[in-house]
């Protein structure tokens, strides 16, 4: 009996030894999970696009012939003049021929969208379909809004 108790104690002792917590390595702050900022902006921009632009410019950005201008491949969309692009969203657009094509629908102004929403949706249209251009920042939208007020 004594021997049995002895071996149980020994076994328990051995087990606790084995499962004893390893010496902690000094904790360094875990690295922040890599966040793909561009993907987040594109996701937000897509939401704005679906609610505010898709009805006219279509899911494929192709617009509607003679009605709504295409955004896919459009110079005004991927061009360097971001202020002009921001102005189009803030002020709307009407009766302008684009690449010699008239579009008969009216693009309503969207001043109710926040600087963030406009920055997101324009970054989205500049980088969706086959478009590829730099992001439009919130600061850029803000600057144009102040100037065109
Ligand atoms: C009611 C329909 C309608 C909605 C909604 C609309 N647009 Fe437009 N958009 C148009 C029309 C029509 C034109 C062309 C106007 C013209 O030719 O004068 C246009 C033109 C544009 C242009 C200029 C294209 C070029 O090649 O010059 C851009 C950029 C644009 N829209 C972006 C947007 C964005 C971004 C949204 C959403 C925030 C949006 N539009 C919402 C109808 C719309």
Task: Tell me the per-residue pLDDT of 93-149, one tens digit each, with 9 for 90 and over.
Answer: 999 999 999 999 999 999 999 999 999 999 999 999 999 999 999 999 999 999 998
* Ligand 1 pocket member 118 (CB < 6 A): no
Instruction: Report the CATH fold assignment for 36-148.
Output: Cytochrome Bc1 Complex; Chain D, domain 2 (1.10.760)
* Cβ pair 121, 89 in contact under 8 A: yes
CA angle 108, 110, 114 (to 5 degrees): 170
| pLDDT in the model for residue 93 | 97
* Ligand 1 pocket member 68 (CB < 6 A): yes
Least confident among 15-19, 39-43, 115-119: 15-19
| pLDDT in the model for residue 34 | 75
Q: What is the Cβ-side half-sphere exposure of residue 148, based on CA atoms within 13 angstroms?
A: 18
The number of the ligand 1 atom at minimal distance from the alpha carbon of 101 is 17
Type and span of the H or E element at 146:
helix 138-148
* Cβ pair 137, 85 in contact under 8 A: no
């Amino acid at each position: 009996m004594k021997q049995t108790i002895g071996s149980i104690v020994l076994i328990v002792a051995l087990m606790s030894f084995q499962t004893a917590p390893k010496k902690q390595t000094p904790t360094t702050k875990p690295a922040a999970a890599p966040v793909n900022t561009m993907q987040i902006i594109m996701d937000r921009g897509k939401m704005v696009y679906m609610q505010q632009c898709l009805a006219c410019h279509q899911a494929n950005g192709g617009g509607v012939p003679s009605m709504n201008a295409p955004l896919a491949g459009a110079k005004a969309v991927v061009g360097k003049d971001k202020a002009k692009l921001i102005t189009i969203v803030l002020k709307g657009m009407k009766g302008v021929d684009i690449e010699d094509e008239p579009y008969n629908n009216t693009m309503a102004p969207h001043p109710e969208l926040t600087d963030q929403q406009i920055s997101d949706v324009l970054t989205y249209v500049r980088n969706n379909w086959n478009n590829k251009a730099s992001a439009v920042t919130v600061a850029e939208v803000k600057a144009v809004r102040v100037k065109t007020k």
